């Protein structure tokens, strides 16, 4: 699968990473409003950092969502365009699952990780994952979901909540809350490799963002933001 390019634009911080064997290079920028203008420049910066020509890439993975509507469109479009131009396979990675993967290195024992982010309009993106700190393994225990906060399903052994809506959960089950997303492009590689080896790669023309919410609802939200 290597060398591979990873693209992550689902939150306010956009990041690009390249993995080649055991080496990983990453660049990022924190201006959500300049994602469309800067994302290709970040790709070039990361290629330069890795001293790698883009024609040597063998695959591309991207955080396909759920997340920011604008960010998803940008990340998917750039991934699709590069994959088409370079004739490379694509692998879609759930942003919620990548978020859970990003905290696995610090986990001990066993339990459940909840990843949750604000989807606006009174709704939240979330998913749960069982983990084993001993084996450094992660197992999905729910689909990526979009619900009201009171409809988020928590198990008795949910010990960690991660994401920009973690602090909105009021329950004694959660021992620790990380109220932001520590996930970056480099956290996509492990999940992408599993999918790639399983034959789950797609072509550029098949790439689609995982909105969970309808485009019409997002259009309404963007119009409301424009009027405020």
pLDDT at 74: 93
pLDDT computed for residue 100 by the predictor:
96
Q: What is the mean pLDDT of the chain?
A: 90
**pLDDT tens, 167-216?**
999 876 788 999 999 999 999 999 999 999 999 999 999 999 999 986 54
**What's the average model confidence in pLDDT over 121-147?**
92
What pLDDT, in 10s, does the model give residues 49-99? 999 999 999 999 999 999 988 899 999 999 999 999 999 999 999 999 999
On the question of pLDDT at 3 being above 90, the answer is yes
Q: Model-level pTM?
A: 0.91
pLDDT number for residue 126 = 97
Whole-number Cα distances in Å, 27 to 46, 47, 105, 195: 6, 10, 21, 24
**Interaxial angle between packed helices 69-86 and 35-50, expressed in degrees from 0 to 180 and rounded to the nearest 10:** 50
Domains and CATH numbers, the chain: 4-95+183-227 (3.30.420.40), 96-178 (3.30.420.40)
Q: What is the rounded (10 degree) CA torsion for 200, 45, 19, 141?
A: -50
User: Cα dihedral angle (39, 11, 211, 153), rounded to 10 degrees?
Assistant: 160
Q: Give residue 164's pLDDT band: very low, low, confident or very high (50, 70, 90).
A: very high
């Amino acid at each position: 699968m290597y060398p591979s390019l990873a693209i992550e634009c689902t939150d306010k911080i956009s990041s690009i990473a390249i993995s080649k064997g055991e080496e990983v290079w990453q660049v990022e920028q924190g201006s959500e409003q300049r994602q469309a203008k800067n994302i290709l420049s970040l790709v070039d910066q990361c290629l330069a950092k890795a001293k790698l020509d883009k024609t040597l890439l063998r695959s591309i993975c991207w955080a396909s969502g759920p997340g920011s509507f604008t960010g998803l469109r940008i990340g998917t479009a750039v991934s699709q365009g590069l994959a088409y131009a370079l004739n490379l396979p694509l692998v879609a990675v759930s942003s919620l699952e990548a978020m859970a993967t990003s905290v696995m290195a610090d986990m001990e024992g066993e339990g459940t990780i909840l990843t949750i982010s604000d989807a606006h309009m009174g709704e939240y993106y979330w998913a749960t994952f069982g983990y084993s700190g001993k084996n450094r393994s992660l197992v999905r225990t729910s689909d990526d979901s979009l619900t009201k906060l009171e409809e988020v399903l928590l198990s008795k052994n949910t010990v960690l909540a991660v994401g920009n809506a973690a602090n909105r959960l009021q329950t004694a089950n959660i021992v620790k809350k990380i109220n932001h997303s520590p996930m970056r492009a480099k956290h996509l590689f492990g999940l992408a490799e599993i999918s790639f080896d399983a034959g789950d790669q797609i072509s550029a023309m098949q790439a689609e963002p995982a909105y969970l919410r309808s485009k019409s609802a997002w259009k309404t939200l963007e119009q409301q933001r424009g009027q405020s």
